[in-house]
Structure 1
Amino acid sequence: MKITAQFDSGNIEVISATDPSDIRLAIRKDNASDFYQWFHFRLHSPHRELHTLKIINVNDSAYPDGWKNYQAVASYDRQTWFRVDTDYNGQELVISHYPEADSIYFAYFAPYSYEQHLDLVQQAQLHERCQLVELGETLDGRDMSLLVIGEPGEGKRRIWITARQHPGETMAEWFVEGMLERLLDDEDAVARSLLDKAVFYVVPNMNPDGGARGHLRTNAVGVNLNREWQAPSMEKSPEVFLVRQMMLETGVDMYLDVHGDENIPYNFLAGSEGVPCFDARMQSLEQNFRQYLLMATPEFQNEIGYEVDAPGQANMTVASNWVAQQFNCMAFTLEMPFKDNDKLPDDLYGWSDVRSMKFGHDSLTAVLAIVDQLR
């Protein structure tokens, strides 16, 4: 029996793995950080019996409440990820599974590897509407890639989408893949109508170093990118520095920063009510977009989410708040669950990579509904 995490986005430490009924594991912290929650590993075992895998350090993880009612995902082919029996007993996360093949992968959520990311941007740039722009490099020397979709022109809205500032929130890049698939479909009326009115600037992966290293929340040197937007640097947060620099060149009329939430089992939006420039116009835009998204997909809801910031009390180091204030535009943080969407539960898959992609696809209907109101 062998357990390994020596691959792209792998994360686990083996405490003991000799008895299938008592495998003991621990999640490794992000480099130079105390954050940890993401895991991804492979179990190879010839034993056809119930395997009990206990992750023993979950109580001190970044979001211990996130383990309540959580089910890990597993895959035999690394394509289809399904939920497996998982129990949080207050001390350990216990995964119980009877392997049907010699090798099986387990993860916190369906992974989105750096290789998949490279495939995504390379395939997208083959479309005549799409340009691949390399903004610079990360601290580990990976490319910071921007996809520009549509032809810039007078009067066109500038819509920015970023994903995976927190690298373990892989549902965010699945969301972007679904969005791109529709946006680059020549026969899709919503996409064609949108690109007549707007140009999309899409960063599918804001944190490729963290993703490849198996981090939950930080980049290569332990920096939380979504707290760097007021004063990023090439020394600590080049990912934000480079994207922010391009935003200042292009301008922004709408912004979605796509994330995943460990605790809340719903899809929801966090707005920019606490920024100094928030006014009746921005309030109307936010309310309208939420209503359009409710009409576009039953996966979205608007009752449960984060507490709204008091006027003038927003954390301006957060991406959506900085963008809203800098460009006086509608800016949201979009959150998806690691668990399931309790509004539409699915016992086999929970909230999944496929559902994230479909949510990205459907969200463009709401963007089309709001685009003429953005300026």
Structure 2
Amino acid sequence: MHISCNNQFAQLSLLDCFASNFENGNLDAARETVPQAEWDLEIRGDTNNSKYRVWFYFAVSNVKNKQVCIFNVINFSKGRSLYREGMTPLVRSTKRTHWQRIPSRNSFYYKSPKHKMNYVLSFIFEFDNEDEEYFFAYSFPYTYSDLQKYLYQIESRKLSFCKRELLCKTILQRRVDLLVIGKDPRGTRNSLSQIESRRGERRRVVFVSARVHPGESPASYMCHGLIEFLLSSTPLAQLLRKHITFMIVPMLNPDGVFLGNYRTAFCGLDLNRQ
């Protein structure tokens, strides 16, 4: 059986087995090579730029208890990967929502003679509850909605030293947010390196951004941790806020993140090369 889909928001299987029709999802096709046991999977290329194929995030349902499956991701666009260094894909389910890594003994990254010596990621998984839906991902997902929820929580705290601003909107009308953290976040900006407070003090600026490449989801977790620290009441955080203004763009490419792209924005461009 070969299941193919050119629309990332459509269901991938008439049998309701595979899906990527959710935020940040990516899977283009699945071919059953051994009935009910092994599948070759293809990643959808980035929107309007199909040469980038690295990020995957998909769901599997309609499984059987104790069913063991082998999944082969066969069309990565590059061979260099942390999978070569021991990284493994992630899994969660509808009832067990915390991501866990596939054990290294069940994950393999190798050049496959069956696939023109391209690099293939193969991993083995045993399903244990036929009533659950299972999700598999390249790395820990951190979605646009995750960020918006977090920024709303920050905004609701009404901190005097933190201001959320709308920097701009994307082609698809998603927010590109800016967080300004410091002693006087509503001061006047004279340059990228300095800001003038309402009392005329000049303050140094530190600019931080994340997720220019949507597939680099660990950057969002690092940025999240940095924000948490800078908003904390620890003496060091208070000292930094007193002398420095931090300008943070937590997600530079929200369209790419939402669409499940690896490197580009909706327009197909790598924003880090513009």
Q: Is the 8 A contact 1:37 1:63 kept in 2?
A: no
Cα distance, 1:65 vs structure 2: 4.2
Cα distance, 1:217 vs structure 2: 0.5
Amino acid at match of 1:42: A
What is the rounded CA distance, in whole Å, between the counterparts of 2:73 and 2:111 in structure 1?
A: 12
2:262 aligned to which of 199, 212, 216:
216
The aligned residue for residue 162 of structure 2 is 130
Q: Is the 8 A contact 1:125 1:147 kept in 2?
A: no
Cα distance, 1:67 vs structure 2: 3.5
Amino acid at match of 1:141: Q
Q: What are the Cα deviations for residues 1-36 of structure 1, in whole angstroms up to 9, with x where unaligned?
A: 601000000001233248332112101110122112
What is the rounded CA distance, in whole Å, between the counterparts of 1:173 and 1:55 in structure 2?
A: 25
Work out whether 1:227 is the aligned partner of 2:259: no
The aligned residue for residue 147 of structure 1 is 179
The aligned residue for residue 9 of structure 1 is 24
Cα pair distance change 1:64/1:20, threshold 3 Å: farther
1:66-215 aligned within 5 A: 66-68=82-84, 69-77=86-94, 79-84=97-102, 85-91=106-112, 92-101=120-129, 102-126=132-156, 127-128=158-159, 129-150=161-182, 151=184, 152=187, 153=197, 154-185=201-232, 187-215=233-261
Q: What are the Cα deviations for residues 124-161 of structure 1, in whole angstroms up to 9, with x where unaligned?
A: 22332211111221111111110111214323210111
What is the rounded CA distance, in whole Å, between the counterparts of 2:48 and 2:82 in structure 1?
A: 22
Amino acid at match of 2:90: V
Amino acid at match of 1:108: Y
Amino acid at match of 1:191: A
RMSD of the alignment, in Å? 1.7
Q: What is the percent sequence identity of the aligned residues? A: 28
Q: Which runs of 4+ in 1 moved over 6 A?
A: none
The aligned residue for residue 303 of structure 1 is none
Cα pair distance change 1:88/1:109, threshold 3 Å: same
Q: Is the 8 A contact 1:3 1:42 kept in 2?
A: yes
Q: TM-score, normalised by structure 2?
A: 0.77
Cα distance, 1:66 vs structure 2: 4.1
Q: What are the Cα deviations for residues 246-295 of structure 1, in whole angstroms up to 9, with x where unaligned?
A: xxxxxxxxxxxxxxxxxxxxxxxxxxxxxxxxxxxxxxxxxxxxxxxxxx
Work out whether 1:49 is the aligned partner of 2:67: yes
What is the rounded CA distance, in whole Å, between the counterparts of 2:35 and 2:24 in structure 1?
A: 26
Q: TM-score, normalised by structure 1?
A: 0.57
Q: Which has the higher strand share?
A: 2
Amino acid at match of 1:93: L
Amino acid at match of 2:253: N
Which stretches in structure 1 are left out of the alignment for 5+ residues? 229-375
- The secondary structure found in structure 2 opposite 1:161 is strand
What is the total number of aligned residue pairs between the two structures?
Answer: 225
1:335-354 aligned within 5 A: none
Which stretches in structure 2 are left out of the alignment for 5+ residues? 1-15, 113-119, 188-196
Q: Max radius of gyration: which structure?
A: 2
What is the rounded CA distance, in whole Å, between the counterparts of 2:92 and 2:24 in structure 1?
A: 15
